[in-house]
Structure formats: structure tokens, C-alpha cells
Amino acid sequence: MASTLFTNARIVDGSAPEAGAPVSVLVEGGTIREVGKSVTSAKAKVVDLKGKTLMPGLIDAHVHVVAGVADLGANSRLPDSLVTARSFGIMRAMLMRGFTTVRDVGGADFGLKQATEEGDFPTPRLVISGKALSQTGGHADFRGRYDDRPSVIERHRLGALGRICDGVDQIRRAAREELKGGADFIKIMANGGCASPTDPIHFLGFSVSELEAVVEEAKMAGTYVSAHVYTDDAIRRCVEAGVHSLEHCNLIKAETAKLAASKGAVAVPTLVTYDKLVSDGPKLGFPPDSVAKVDVVRSAGMESLAIMKKAGLTMAYGSDLLGEMHKYQSEEFVIRGRALPAHEVIASATHVAAKLLKMEGLIGTVAAGAHADLIVVDGDPLKDLSLLTRQGKHMPVIMKGGTFMKRASLN
């Protein structure tokens, strides 16, 4: 069993505004065995981190690893073989940015998750919702105004982010099928969205009874519901129905933020995607009508961070990028850093996200018993969050499960 001893490790994990005092971290196999000032090992290979920062592997709680092109309707029509091949390229790039775990909130299936766990390809750990659930005309319905073909009931292609279900019986069945198929949680489209053609941002997805039904199904399976939501009305009705994970939340208001916080909900803002959909989306095939809808939510994004922070609403890290825009995944750190303290931004991608993913103590922390998912950073990201960007340029070491995925010179 291979072992590595990191010495002179100043840990930054988002739990404090300053880096920790130097310690040693012993990795044995795929696990962090010991952390402390006087850790020794006769057989471990020593890696001196003097002048560097040691961090837990980063966690992105809102990705779509099957979204190889920005036009999601076109992506849903691609053959599974092509989507699969592209998804492994997308995931490898995420890993090389220091993201050792990602939560896919619509698209990836259990076969893709199993392939990542078999370890033949360099990928992050993958937590999945399976297909997101949408009503007819909702955020996962890409048929358009004039397409009256029936929605797909079976054989959902890998490139499709979601599936259509209407009514309490259908949403229960869809949730059960996704859970049977290996979903770790359930994702629903509870609001209009930018990428889809027939649902303005203000549209509310699903009736209250449908929302309550899908929350009950998730609870019976020991998990939770994640909801795509922008407007204050959509967020409030989801919180009242028991939805736990609130994606985007750009138009949230103070009272709803307080209510969500009191219920123990978690918000997952995804600000970087709106900047890039406006700047890069048109040339990458994002439909013009969709680009027009982006500005409605983009302008309110930064204010939503302040509202949620003041309300005490926990926020996890999310990027929500599509196609060639995946490369901007780490820019979310810098954007949030304009409104929030650096250690809180880092916490959103470490222990906060780990708790949301129901993996608290296993990922997002440098502690005995956790998975040995670690990154080494040149300099101190608490002083400069941009050190976490540039495609891992400032990360000479990336380790996942005790295996070096990247190991450059530390000099």
C-alpha cells in the first residue's frame, strides 16, 4: 500500500480566514491516516510543502458533465457514444482544475458514475441526480413551440439533461425510476429557465401537490430534492414543500432567504454561467432567445449573494457551465470573492458542499479518515482566489483517493 507524508503543510479548507500552522499529513492507500505536528512514517514518500498551501480537493455542486455543446436541445439528440466520450474529456479537465468531486444535477446516469468509479479514466468522484424532472413546457422540454411530437417516456438519451412528467402519479413514478436507476438525489425544474425555449423565467414549474409528492419520494429513499429556481415565488414554494437544495436563486428576496435558512436549506448560486452565456454563448450555439433571457437573472446575481449571506442561508459552490464554457468553472471563486470573504467562498467548495452531498467528513476536509483528495496550491488562495483559476496552473499537485493525478515540481 503506497503512502505519502506531506510535511510543512499549511491547510486552507475554508474553516478559518487564515491558513493553519504547518502540520504533517500522512496518506496511506486512499485515505488520510493522520494529521498533526509530529506525524512520522518510515515507509512513506515525503513531499515537502514549505511555501505552499494544502487544500482538500474542490467540490462543484452544480455541473452537467454530459453537456458537450451549449445548445442543450441539440445535445439531447446526440448519440450516447459521442456524449460519453466527450463527458470523460469534460470530467478530466474538471479534475485538472482541482475538482475531485462534482455533483451532476441533470444528465449523467449510473453507468457513467460506475465508469468513473472503476478508475480507468481520470475523473472526479461523481454524485448524480439522473435525469432532471420537468413538466411539459418546462426547463427540460426542448421541443419548441411547433413541435407536437409526444415527449419521450422511455429510452432517454444520455445527452438529455431531463425528462418530462406531468401530475402527481407521473412525478412519483419518474422519481422512483431515477432512484432505482442509481440517482443519489432528485433534481426538479421548478421555474422557467434560460436554455429552454418555451418557459419564461417567471414560469412556475409543477403544482404544489407535485412538489410535495416528489419531496416525499426523496425522503422515503433517504435523500433530498434539488430544484432549479430563480424567482422569489418559485424559491418560496419549493422551500415550503420541503425542497432542500436550491439551485441559482438569483431573484431571491430577504424574507424567503430567511425562511430557507430556518428550514436548513442550502443554496447553490451559479453566477459564472450567466457572464459566459452572454459573452461566449452566441458563438457556441446558445440560442438567441435564450441569451436574451440570461440578462434577467445575471444582473441580480451579485445582490443575491449579499441577501443570502445576511439571512444566514448556507451556500455551496456551483458553476453550471455548458459546452466549451466548462473551462470557466473556477472563475466562480473570483466572482463570489467580490461579495464574500475568501474563506467563505472556499468553504462553499469544501466542507459546505461535502455536507450537501451527504459526504461530510469524507470529502472537503483534510482530516483523519477522509478520502485522500488533496490539492497543493502555490501561494495562499485566502489572499488571492485567482490562484484557484487558470486551469490548475497554480496547482502542482492534485491527488484523488491517494493517487497522484498531477504531480509537478514543487520547486
The number of angstroms, rounded, from the C-alpha of 34 to the middle of its chain's C-alpha atoms is 28
pTM above 0.85, yes or no: yes
Rounded to an integer, what distance in angstroms lies between the CA atom of residue 335 and that of residue 296?
18
Phi, psi values for residue 90, rounded to 5°: -60, -45
Neighbouring C-beta atoms of residue 116, cutoff 10 Å:
22
Please count the other Cβ atoms lying within 10 Å of the Cβ belonging to residue 34: 18
> Is the CB of residue 371 less than 8 Å from the CB of residue 363?
yes
φ, ψ for residue 223, nearest 5 deg: -135, -155
Tell me which DSSP letter residue 204 carries. Answer: B
Q: What is the pLDDT along the chain (411 residues), one digit of tens a residue?
A: 789 999 999 999 999 999 999 999 999 999 999 999 999 998 999 999 999 999 999 999 999 999 999 999 999 999 999 999 999 999 999 999 999 999 999 999 999 999 999 999 999 999 999 999 999 989 888 776 776 776 766 568 999 999 999 999 999 999 999 999 999 999 999 999 887 888 888 999 999 999 999 999 999 999 999 999 999 999 999 999 999 999 999 999 999 999 999 999 999 999 999 888 888 888 878 778 777 777 778 878 899 999 999 999 999 999 999 999 999 999 999 999 999 999 999 999 999 999 999 999 999 999 999 999 999 999 999 999 999 999 999 999 999 999 999 999 886
For residues 282 and 59, give the distance between their C-alpha atoms in angstroms, rounded to a whole number. 28
Cα within 13 Å of Cα(378), Cβ side: 14
**H-assigned helices in 229-379:** 232-241, 254-262, 271-279, 288-298, 301-311, 331-337, 342-348, 351-356
List residues bridging with 400 in a β-sheet. Answer: 403
Q: Cβ(47)–Cβ(5) under 8 Å?
A: yes
